[in-house]
Amino acid sequence: MKILWFIPTHGDTRYLGTSTGGRAADFNYFKQVAVAADTLGYEGVLIPTGRSCEDPWTVASSLIDATRRLKFLVALRPGLVTPSQYARTAATLDRLSGGRVLINLVTGGDQAELEGDGQFLPHAQRYEQATEFLHIWREIVSRSHTGEALDFEGQHLSVKGAKLLYPPLQRPYPPLFFGGSSPEAHELAAQQLDTYLTWGEPPAAVAAKVADVRERAAKYGRTLTYGIRLHVIVRETEDAAWAAAADLVSHLDEATVARAQQTFAKMDSVGQRRMAALHQGKFNPDNIREGLEVSPNLWAGVGLVRGGAGTALVGNPQQVADRIKEYADLGLEYFVLSGYPHLEEAYRFAELVFPLLPLGLRERLATQLQTPGLTGPFGEVVANQHVPQPSALARSAS
């Protein structure tokens, strides 16, 4: 099990749908979140992409020297930059970071945004282009270790004598992640990707998607790993967690929700349609669980105004850990998480849930967080004299 966090390069907030409680998307804040994730033992961070975000490659590059072990899951956007250029970009970042790059293929589902970036292909043809793009990118990067060049002529993309002189540290290339819910997306994942990511749907729906990708991959003699993208709202009690969820949407109004849903409805993303189907734009501020708790502890309220990942695990630490284990039992290995605000929630999730996750992960976290030779009290010294001990509540929980 690998737990990743999120760098909020499109801004952060305490309250969805309003500038109240908002935080600026600036380097100092990104650095704080990255250092927190690195210090707490998260595997890596997802850096989002799109016109609402700062450029993910620039952000990842800026955070190399601020972190030690943290991996950066950054986006490739087929059709916006050539695969040869992206091969050089990815290899350079992997080399300079010491092999800490993960690649997230993003084909895009917002036609207005795509057209603004000069991408006018419809959904099916975007996946044809993405297939050619990935083939070229993988071959260029893989061949960089032997110095071979690549010739390729496709329907959408072609290269002649393409070569990468500075290979990445990771062989044959930095791992490739991808999320998509359409048949074309599943087929692309089965053919060329290493890890398939799904947004947070109920376990039965996730199981069906994983089974479909796994069956398609088997036809090509391939085996993938799997993961899920979720928000988390965890507090020491279940009531407190749901109160925090209510607080997160306490500034929302029907007009804001309707405006967001109208925008989402114009997208050709199958995954976005599946997210919208979970909540159907229904919002009752007096009972935020009504119609939005789509599975035990799985809440679709975030998706009322946020595109992409729109569900959150809500509950006490044991409930959230149990839900994560349920997904893990379906074959999921990567958990890409986030929470509002992202700095505080990175700490909260690590402190409350990490101790409840599988033993192997706990042991790895304990090992990598140790500072050689450093001893002393854990927690604030009591009355300037007494070394703090675990509370009775903590002992009973363990």
Residue 27: domain span: 2-397
The pair of three-digit structure tokens given for residue 310, joined into one six-digit string = 């729109």
Q: Which residues, 6 or more positions from 99, have their beta carbon under 8 angstroms from its beta carbon?
A: 168, 169, 170, 174
DSSP readout, 177-204?
EEE--SHHHHHHHHHH-SEEEEE---HH
Mean pLDDT of all residues in 308-332: 97
For residue 377, CA distances in Å to 79, 329, 348, 362, 386 come to 54, 37, 20, 20, 9
pLDDT confidence of 375, banded at 50, 70, 90? low
Checking if the pLDDT of 396 tops 70, the result is no
Write out pLDDT tens, residues 228-246: 999 999 999 999 999 999 9
Checking if the pLDDT of 317 tops 80, the result is yes
User: Residue 309: in which H helix or E strand, if any?
Assistant: none
Q: How many domains does the chain fold into? A: 1
Burial 107-144 (b: 16+ CB within 10 A, else e): bbbbbeebeeeebebebeebbbbbbbbbbbbbbbbbbb
Q: What is the 8-class DSSP label of residue 253?
A: -
Cα 234 to Cα 266: distance, rounded to the nearest angstrom: 33
Write out pLDDT tens, residues 382-395: 766 777 887 765 55
Cα 123 to Cα 142: distance, rounded to the nearest angstrom: 28
Greatest Cα-to-Cα distance within the chain, rounded to the nearest angstrom:
73
Looking at residue 114, what is its pLDDT? 75
Q: Is 209 helix (H, G, I), strand (E, B) or coil?
A: helix
Q: What are the phi and psi torsion angles at 288 (to 5°)? A: -70, -15
For residue 290, the domain's CATH number is 3.20.20.30
Look at 222 and 389; give whichever has higher pLDDT: 222
Q: Is 348 helix (H, G, I), strand (E, B) or coil?
A: helix
Checking if the pLDDT of 200 tops 80, the result is yes
Checking if the pLDDT of 32 tops 90, the result is yes
Q: Which of 16-20, 114-118, 302-306 has the lowest mean pLDDT?
A: 114-118
For residue 259, CA distances in Å to 28, 228, 267 come to 31, 27, 14
Looking at residue 349, what is its pLDDT? 98
For residue 361, CA distances in Å to 72, 194, 364, 367, 368 come to 19, 21, 5, 10, 11
Sign of the CA dihedral running 356, 357, 359, 360: negative
User: Residue 360: in which H helix or E strand, if any?
Assistant: helix 359-369
Question: Which residue carries 């990104």 as its tokens?
Answer: 30
Looking at residue 395, what is its pLDDT? 53
Checking if the pLDDT of 221 tops 90, the result is yes
Look at 118 and 379; give whichever has higher pLDDT: 118
Mean pLDDT of all residues in 246-259: 92
Question: Which residue carries 């695969």 as its tokens?
Answer: 83
pLDDT confidence of 371, banded at 50, 70, 90? low
Mean pLDDT of all residues in 31-46: 97
Q: Is 369 helix (H, G, I), strand (E, B) or coil?
A: helix
What share of the chain has pLDDT > 90, as a percent?
73
In contact, 95 and 168? CB cutoff 8 Å? yes
Pairing of strands 312-315, 195-199: unpaired
User: Across all residues in the chain, what is the average pLDDT?
Assistant: 92
Checking if the pLDDT of 366 tops 80, the result is no
Write out pLDDT tens, residues 268-281: 788 888 988 888 88
| 257: alpha, beta or left? (left if phi > 0; alpha if psi -120 to 50) | alpha
Write out pLDDT tens, residues 112-169: 787 887 888 888 899 899 999 999 999 999 999 999 999 999 999 999 999 999 999 9
